[in-house]
Each structure stands twice: as C-alpha cells, then as structure tokens.
Amino acid sequence: MKIFSLSKGLVLLWYPFIFGFYLFCTPTLARNTLQFSSVQQQQQIRVTGIVTDGVVPLSGVIISIKNQRNTVVTDFDGKYNITVSFSDILIFTYIGYKTIEIPVARHLTINVQMQEDATALQEVKINAGYYSVKESQRTGSISKISSKDIEKQPVTNVLAAMQGRMAGVSITQNTGVSGGNFDIQIRGQNSLRSNGNRPLYIIDGVPYSSDSGGSDLTGIVLQGSTSPLNSINPGDIEGIEVLKDADATAIYGSRGANGVVLITTKKGKAGKTQFTANVSGGLAKVTRLMDLMNTEHYLQMRRQAFVNDGIAYGPTDYDVNGTWDQNRYTNWQKVLIGGTSEINDVQASLSGGSSGTQFLLNGNFHKETTVFPGDYNYRKGNLLANMNHESENKKFQVNFSMGYTAQQNNQPGMDITQQGILLAPNAPALYDQKGNLNWENSTWNNPISSLEGEYISRTNDLFANGLLSYKITPGLITKTSFGFTDTRFNDSRTQPSTIYDPAYEVGSEFSSIYVNNTTRKSWIIEPQLSWSKKIGKGKAEILIGSTFQQQNATQLVQEANGFSSNSLIYNLSSAFNVFDLVHSESVYRYQAFFGRVNFSWNERYILNFTGRRDGSSRFGPGRQFATFGAIGTAWLFSNEKFIKENFDFLSFGKFRASYGTTGNDQIGDYQFLNTYEATGNNYGGVIGLEPIRLFNPNFGWEINKKLELAIETGFFKDRIFITVGWYSNRSSNQLVGIPLPATTGFNSIQANLEATVENRGIELTLRTVNFQRQSFNWTSNFNLTIARNKLLSFPDLEGSTYQNQFVIGEPLNIKKVYHYTGINAQTGVYQFEDYNADGLITAVEDKQVIRDLNPKYFGGLQNTITYKKWQLDFLFQFVKQLNYSGSYGTGLPGTMTNQPVTVTDHWQNPGDIASHQKYSTGVNSQAVDAFYKYYASDAMITDASYVRLKNLSLSYTISEQVLKGVKCRLVFQGQNLFTFTSFKGADPESRFTTALPPLKVFTTGLQFTF
C-alpha cells in the first residue's frame, strides 16, 4: 500500500523529453563563430584554442585584438579561431570573469583558463521580475543569492538556504520535522494580521501560492502546516532575488507589500552536452536538547511538593508513591528525539544545445529519515525540463520550462518532543521483556504509543511556464508569458486504537483518521510590450503589460472513525462514520495593468517609474480596483569626472532613493459576503447550514508606503564593496480581523482599521575580496540588518479590542507582561509588581512591562576560500533577540512533569532567596496562581540570541587527468553545525517547546561532470 511509485513515474516522464530534445537538437550546429578575412595583413596567422573555466568549456567568451575592432566569440565547445599577426595581443573577456590579455608571440594554439572575478558583479544582470537590470544600474533594493550559494547547503527547502544570507530577510524554521514550514518576513511585520505578512513568491514569472494547503487537524506534527516551497528542488534554482523597496515591488502592486521572492530555475546552456551527477549521503541530529532534572532531583522535588502542600501521596502519584522504580533514570529526550536521521540525495542533470536551441533536464531524488524512534521518512523526487529556442534571425524567442515534483512525507502522527521534556525521569521502560509496549499496569501513557498514529502526506506539483517573445524592431519587443500550476496535496493523520492502553479495551471501533485533500490550479497570462532606445547619451526604456490570473482551490477535510479493523484505517468506506469537516472551493481572480518607464543619462543619472493598477476578486463590488506606483532614482557619482580624477580608489559609487506604494490582499476569498455554509453535520437527517462569519462588505486594500535611501560604494577595483540602505515603510488601512468579544457570536470581523505600522531599518552588506591570487582566493560577505517595528497610530486603541495587545510607539510583536519582582521570602511564591497598587495582580492593569520579541538585529558572515583544488565555504548566522524561555510549558514545579535542571534552585524555608518558588503538587492555589502569572511575566522572556555556524562546505576537485575527461569533486557539507547561545531551552530558533528543534546535518557527496 505504501509503495512509492515515484521512480517508475520519473522514468516514464523522461522518455518524451529525451525524445523531444533529440529531435530538436540534432540538426543544429554552431554557426556563431564569426570569421574574418585573413589576407588583409602581412604575417597573418590563424590562432585556435579552447577557453574553459578550468572545468567546462566556456561558450560566448569574447576574444578581441588589442586596439583593433575585430572580435570573435567561442562556440559551444569553447573553441575559437582568429586570424592575427604575431605582434597582436589577444583580450579574452567574459562577464563575471577576469579579463585576460595574452600576446600571440608565434603561438598557434592558445588555450585559456578564465578565472572568476569576484569583483565583477556589477556587470551581472539582476532579475527584477518583468524586466532585468544591470546590477550597477538598478534603482531598487534587490538582494540575490545564486545557485552557487544554494548548492553548498544540504537543505530540502529553499527558505533554509536563504537564512542568514540576505539583509532585511528574516527567516525562522518552525520545526525540525521534515517538510515543516518557515516564517519569512521581508523588512518586518507590516500587517496586524499575523498571517498577512507573507511575501509574494514568483517562480519563473508565475505566482506561487504561499498557502500551505494543509489542515490543522492533520499536520499536527508539522506545527500545522507544510511549506509550499518544499515543491521546489533547491538544486533546480539558478538564483533567488528578493525585491524589497517600493521601486522594485510597486510593479507587483497589491501583492508587493511584504516583498517579492523571485525564483528563477536553471536554464539550458549552449555548449557541449554535459552530464552532471551529484550523489550525497549524510546524517542529521537535533541541534540541542534541554538540560533537565535527573531522577534524584526530580523525586526530591516531588516529595518536597507533597510536604509543602501537607498532603499524602495519592493513588495516582505513581512516580513517588512506590508504584514506579525510584532508582530508574531515562533521558527521555535522548530516547524520543535523540535518534539520527539518514539522508540520501541524488541529482542528475543533462544540458546542452546550440546557440539557437538549448535544453536542460534535471532530476533529483531525496530521502531522509527522522530522529524519532521508528521507521519514518520524507521522500521527494522531481524533474525539471527546460527548452529555449531563438530563431535564426534572432527575432523570435521561445522559452519553456516544466517541473514536476512528487513528495511523500511519512512522520509520526504527533511530535513527541514535548513528551521527551515532560515525562518523569523515573517513568517506566518503553517495552516489556517480550518486546511489547509496556503500560506498567495502566499507570502511564507510553510515549511510543503516540507513534502508532501516522502522518502521511503526498504532494504532487506540476508547474509549467512559457515565454514567447518577438523582436519587432531592434528596440521594440512584444512578449507574452504563460504559466500554469497544479498542486495536489493530500495528507492524513491516524489515531488507531493501538495508541490507547489495551487495558481500556478500546478496539478499532475507536480508531479514527483525519484526511485532508487540497487541490490548487492556477493559470496566468501576461502580455507585455517593451521598447528601448538610445538617444545621444541617454537611454529610455518603456514596458507595459497586463496580467490575468485565476486560481481555483478546493479543500476537503474529513474525519472518519469506527473501523472494523485497524488495518483498514486508510479506507474511509470501511469507517462507521465519515464526516466532512471542511468542504470548500474558491476562485480567486486577479487582473492588472502595469508599466515601467526608465530613463538613464550618460550612465550617471537614472530615473525609474513603475506602476500597477490592480483588481482582485477578494474585495466587494466597488472596492476591487486600486492603483499603486513608485519612483526610483540613482546617481552613479563614481562616473562623474571630478570623482574619477580625485578619488581613484573609489571604483564604484551610487546613491539611490525610492518612494512608492504597494498593497496587500492576503485575506482569503469571499470574506465580504454574508453567507451560510453547509456544516456537513447531520441532525435528524438534515445537514446543517450555519452562518460562517460576521460580515462587512466594505473593506478594501491595505496600503503600504515605502521609502528607501541607499549608498553603494566600491573601493580598490571593488575589492571592498559596501552597501548601506535605510528604509522606512508605513502600512495603513490595516485589514484585520478585529478581535471581538465572544458575545458577538464570533471572535473577529474583517475590516479596515485606520492604524499605521512603521518598519524602519538599516541594512548593511559588505563584500571584501581578501585575497585574489592564482591559487588562493578568499572572499567574505557580511550582512547586517538592524530593524525596528513600531505601531505609529491606532485610533481609539484604549477602547478597542486590541488595547491589551498593542501599545502605540511599540512594535507589534510585543508581549505585555507582569513584572516579576522575586519570591516572597515568607510565603515562597512568586511576586509581581502591583502597578495600580490595588492589592491584586490583574491582567489588564498590572501587565505593564513590554517585551519586544522581534529580533533587534540579525545577519550573517560568509567566507569563501579556495586554495588550488580545495574550496571552503562557511556561514555564521547571528540573531539578537528575546524569546520565551525554554522552561515555558514545563508546568508547575512539583507536579508530575520533569523540569529544567535550573528549577532545583527553589524556595524551601522562610528567608530563602531562590530563583524558583516552592514546589507544589497543584493543590496550593496561591502557588498555582503565582505560577501562571510567572508564565505571563517578564521572568519567562529571556535572551534567545545566538550565533550559529549555519553552513560549512568543503570541496576538493580531482583533476581531470586522473579520471580521463570526467571532472570529479568531493564535497563535505554541514548545516546548523554549532550554536553559541546562552539560551536555556533546547534551540533558540524554535519558538515552541512542542516542536522538534532544527537538525544539524552532515553530508558527504561526490559530484562528477562529463
């Protein structure tokens, strides 16, 4: 039943592509080698050679003769021939590589090995979505990572690969369980809605839904949701651009408020047909475990609690009343989450083509097991095919890419991390002598029993996009892009009766399963027209286009229970009851017109206007359309004459500034309608209909105004390159579910609130080329973001339902908490500041301390060192932040739950000074009350800053001579290797004590190319 048929499917899928490309590629040969007459000059000779990057031939390298106009270009085998005279000097230039000059001097063959130039990045074209722009000429704020950074990381989700590498982009992993989700915030939280802060993902021009498609009822082990970006294989990605400021995002209008993540997949490259395979395997374990009490400390605590409460051990106090062995000790964290996950990964890629037609086929298979005891794993296979063609007259172009991903995630039904923390250290053995689950005479819930429940998810994604473009005149290009996505997500969680103690005699009639089926199909068409013209020293570019997009989504969540046998649990037709809990379908339609006008003068002054008029079906009649726009400017002052003359150490200098508006429509579909929905709930033969919300037909867009100023400077031929940006974004017209008291029948209503949220920050990136020699290169990249989030205004906050959640002038992500003042030396319980001095500690009046849970600053430091055939990369990620302490969630010290070892420091006798209050079994209501207030006090919010060796990659290239034409590389990679922190919990990144901490991963791999 669980046989994974992916490999079969993959093979089938390959055939049409291979055949198709076979047809496409055979007749075409290189035609782009320009040849020049060889009889014009005396002593002319013909020089030939091959240009490589040391590994593969480079096609498109421009070879010119110094002080002459003649140029040739290398063909797809890297070969060239050129006619020169002996005294000539050849100049080899290629974007991203160092220019090389070689005198001919009677050599008839000149083979050249180009070297990458870390300082030539200013020439790289940056993808800005609807257009691309040279790095040096861009007016907007765009961060980029390329496949080179991604390939070094043993991760399955591209968001993990972005962590710590981009200024202004904060990414947090929610759980260490495979397939789990990430939180991403680009320049802070703009919306008061916690789920209204997701960026827009665009993959090859096609928007990709940021909704996970999961259900709270099934994906418990993943903290509720899977990451939609799991469907993209990081190995397929050529580059990721993150658009941040108004200049870059306004062209995405209503969806650009939270930034845009542009993902570009790999494309076929002209040149020799090349096969690359990458095989790797590795191990992973959780980063950190909590320091918990051992049996001795724990039992001391328990006994003391009974003494303090003045009561005797009850019949159910098995840990202390003699029922359980009091000398037993188990480190439950080690037993339950201390396992080792095994990782296997194979990537294969075939690419090649002529100058007119190129193709690429990428295949990947990945498997990883879990750290939980038991046989769980996550498997993913995917295929990417790409074809590009350009007509002979170079006027017509067609690009087509298609990706297919299949994932199967098989995990326990629930995360047992918390059980590993809470279980009494002298709890009984997991298995009896016969190897069966031990229930110790029904005195405990064996944690392994929760693993009887299974979580299985299957995701199939089809993703296709095409671009047709036609060059009408050299400056006028019309193009239309098409995209289609089809996602089928299906997951289930079982609760078979075997999770219960057999003594309770519950049979399969108590077994249940939750099943969620989500499908999502979307298409998009974007016709565009672009025009560019050079006018003297100036250049103008104009782009207009429109978007039509539709997404149809369905979701069916079912619960079934009462099975005749547990082995039939996946067969809903054998269930006694089947309930449809959610059965929804939705249509989202989106229409827009957008444009861009760009002027540049003399490569010095650049002006960029972008705008978009958007309509969305998520709003009621009359509220569907809105217009957004931005202006961006740049001044390349290093191109000014007086700078060039007086400051020759300054190799690059640019000021840029932008201002504009974007919007946010992440509120879900149909929210403006007053509707009843079928509940699927039967009463006396009638299926119920119920009102689903309080309705408000009048809400509209959220508006986000962004301002940015930045300076980019390069020194000493860009060997030191610094970018400093300052931004200030304001979000208003906040679209929120305004919390309502339950007396209204619901918890919230959707409305625009005249509140303004400001995000300000400084982003610094620094790139230095520390060494640049033939055999030794060392470059460093550093990024730092210092951000501050602030609620600027909120009309009538005092009287509103948010009064206890927000404070004007403070960040959104704050906690208003009691101020902990220490332990009452006489009574031994926690005490708090009574701000209004009424003798009572009450929630509203006395929660006066504000703690900001946003990171104060974060960033990363990456180093790349190459020495001969060795390459070493490492990235340190750092975050300065506060968070809930690790002991949040361990319960009242003295009850039957284990505690952090720090809790041993506790109050015992009047006059004691201790960090924790007196132990209690839970019957001392004064202690219980103080304890819950302690949870809601500043004592629980501690420093959770950390520095982490996020990534380490070491590779060695085996020379081609050894393996005869096969280039081979040995790679060691590690992720989350070391964490330096004073945080007392498990891992400072995971915010839930119920979630598995992130994993540290070690892999070794072999990569070969021929």
Please give the residues from 486 up to 545 whose contact with other proteins meets the rule CB under 8 A: 500-501, 503-505, 509-510, 525, 527, 529
CB of 897 to other proteins, least distance (A): 7
> What is the nearest approach in angstroms of other proteins to the Cβ of residue 399?
12
**Which residues between 860 and 919 bind other proteins (CB under 8 A)?**
891, 895-897
Q: How far apart are CA 968 and CA 958, in angstroms?
A: 5
Residues 438-457 that bind other proteins (CB under 8 A): 442-443
Distance CA 438, CA 417 (A): 20
| Smallest gap from residue 578 Cβ to other proteins (A) | 9
> Contact between 56 and other proteins (CB under 8 A)?
no
What is the residue whose two structure tokens read 């098989």? 410
- Judge whether 669 and 692 are in contact, CB under 8 Å: no
What are the residues facing 544 on neighbouring strands?
529, 595
| Interaction residues for other proteins, span 171-210 (CB under 8 A) | none
Could you say whether residue 147 binds other proteins (CB under 8 A)? no
Reading the block at residue 434, the tokens are 């016969």
Tokens of 740: 């309502």
**Residues facing 10 on adjacent strands:** none
Stretch that binds other proteins, among 161-169, 645-653, 721-729, 734-742 (CB under 8 A): 734-742
Q: Which residue in 5, 393, 436, 775 binds other proteins (CB under 8 A)?
A: 393
When asked if residue 589 is in the footprint of other proteins (CB under 8 A), the reply is yes
Q: Report which DSSP code applies to 15.
A: H
Q: Using CA of residue 690, residue 696, residue 697, residue 700, what is the dihedral sign?
A: negative
Residues 949-978 that bind other proteins (CB under 8 A): none
How far apart CA 864 and CA 933 sit, in angstroms, is 49
Phi-psi region of 839 (alpha: psi -120 to 50; beta: other; left: phi over 0): left
If one asks whether residue 648 binds other proteins (CB under 8 A), the answer comes out as no
Among 922, 977, 984, 1002, binds other proteins (CB under 8 A): 922
Q: Footprint of other proteins on residues 401-440 (CB under 8 A)?
A: none
The nearest distance, CB 908 to other proteins, in angstroms, is 21
Question: Which is closer to other proteins, CB of 123 or CB of 585?
Answer: 585
Nearer to other proteins by Cβ, of 123 and 929: the residue is 929
SS3 labels along 824-892: CCCCCCEEECCCCCCCCCCHHHHCCEEEECCCCEEEEEEEEEEECCEEEEEEEEEEECEEECCCCCCCC
**Letter for the amino acid at 295?**
T
Q: Is 684 in the site for other proteins (CB under 8 A)?
A: yes
Query: From the CB of 810, what's the least distance to other proteins, in Å?
Result: 17
Among 372, 463, 628, 670, contact with other proteins (rule: CB under 8 A): 670
First to last CA, the chain: 39
Q: Is 821 exposed, middle or buried (0-12, 13-18, 19+ CB in 10 A)?
A: middle
φ, ψ for residue 327 (rounded to 5)? -105, 0
Q: Give the residue among 348, 355, 358, 352 at the shortest CA–CA distance from 387.
A: 358
DSSP 646: H
Our finding on whether 838 is near other proteins (CB under 8 A) is: no
Task: List all residues 6 or more positions away from 743 whose beta carbon is below 8 Å from its beta carbon.
Answer: none
Is 689 or 963 the residue whose CB approaches other proteins more closely?
Answer: 689
566 near other proteins, judged by CB under 8 A: no
Q: Is 624 in the site for other proteins (CB under 8 A)?
A: yes
Identify residues 735-754 at the interface with other proteins (CB under 8 A).
Answer: 739-747, 749
In the list 687, 792, 808, 963, the residue contacting other proteins (rule: CB under 8 A) is: 687
Q: What's the CA gap between 380 and 336, in Å, rounded?
A: 25
For residue 393, give every residue at least 6 positions away whose Cβ sits within 8 Å of its Cβ, in sequence order, or none: none
Rounded to the nearest whole angstrom, what is the least distance from the CB of residue 314 to other proteins in the complex?
10
Q: Is 374 in the site for other proteins (CB under 8 A)?
A: no
969, two tokens: 């590389």
Q: Taken in order 18, 21, 25, 26, is the CA torsion positive or negative?
A: positive
Please say which residue, 510 or 972, places its beta carbon nearer to other proteins: 510
- The single residue among 111, 602, 804, 915 that binds other proteins, judged by CB under 8 A, is 804
Rule CB under 8 A: say whether 681 interacts with other proteins. Answer: yes
Rounded to an integer, what distance in angstroms lies between the CA atom of residue 953 and that of residue 972? 6
Query: Do residues 706 and 662 lie in contact, with contact meaning Cβ atoms separated by under 8 Å?
Result: yes
Q: Does 797 bind other proteins (CB under 8 A)?
A: no
**Site stretch for other proteins (CB under 8 A), options 360-368, 684-692, 826-834, 984-992:** 684-692
Task: Rank residues 392 and 432 by Cβ distance to other proteins and give the closer one.
Answer: 392
Q: Is 586 in the site for other proteins (CB under 8 A)?
A: yes
- Closest to other proteins by CB, 525 vs 958, is 525
Out of 29, 105, 587, 808, point to the residue binding other proteins (CB under 8 A): 587
> From the list 679, 770, 780, 827, which residue makes contact with other proteins (rule: CB under 8 A)?
679
Maximal CA-CA distance, the chain = 112
Place of tokens 């990721």: 240
Which positions from 765 through 794 interact with other proteins, judged by CB under 8 A? none
DSSP letter string, 99-138: -EEEE-TT-SB--EE--B-TT-GGGSEEE-SSSEEEGGG-
| Smallest distance, other proteins to C-beta of residue 881, A | 26
How many positions of this chain bind other proteins (CB under 8 A)?
96
Q: How far is the CB of 685 from other proteins (least distance, A)?
A: 8
Closer Cβ to other proteins, 449 or 658, answer by number: 449
In a 13 Å sphere around the CA of 357, the CA atoms on its Cβ side amount to: 12
Q: Does 576 bind other proteins (CB under 8 A)?
A: yes
Residue 354 interacts with other proteins (CB under 8 A): yes or no: no
Rounded CA-CA distance 380/231 in Å is 9
Q: With H, G, I as helix, E, B as strand and everything else as coil, classify residue 770.
A: strand
For residue 307, state whether it binds other proteins (rule: CB under 8 A): no
Q: Does 698 help bind other proteins (rule: CB under 8 A)?
A: no
By CB atoms closer than 10 A (0-12, 13-18, 19+), residue 16 is exposed
Backbone angles phi, psi at 757, to 5 degrees: -115, 135
Tally of CB atoms within 10 A around 26: 8
Rule CB under 8 A: is residue 37 a binding residue for other proteins?
Answer: no
Near other proteins by CB under 8 A: residue from 267, 272, 583, 760: 583
Q: Is 315 in the site for other proteins (CB under 8 A)?
A: yes
Write out the H or E segment, with its range, that includes residue 298: helix 295-309
Closer to other proteins by Cβ: residue 269 or 816? 816
Using CB under 8 A, which of the segments 93-101, 188-196, 260-268, 392-400 binds other proteins?
392-400
Is 562 a binder of other proteins (CB under 8 A)?
yes
474 binds other proteins (CB under 8 A): no
Under rule CB under 8 A, residue 123 binds other proteins: no
Q: Provide, rounded to whole angstroms, the least separation between the CB of residue 896 and other proteins.
A: 5
Q: Which of the stretches 278-286, 474-482, 778-786, 903-911 binds other proteins when contact is defined by CB under 8 A? A: 474-482
As a residue count, the chain comes to 1010
Residue 697, interface with other proteins (CB under 8 A)? no
> How many angstroms separate the CA atoms of 813 and 805, rounded?
9
Q: Which lies closer to other proteins via its Cβ, residue 588 or residue 609?
A: 588
Q: How far apart are CA 736 and CA 85, in angstroms?
A: 74
Shortest spacing between CB 964 and other proteins, in angstroms:
43
Q: Least separation, in Å, of the C-beta of 117 and other proteins?
A: 38
**Contact residue for other proteins among 674, 836, 915, 959 (CB under 8 A):** 674
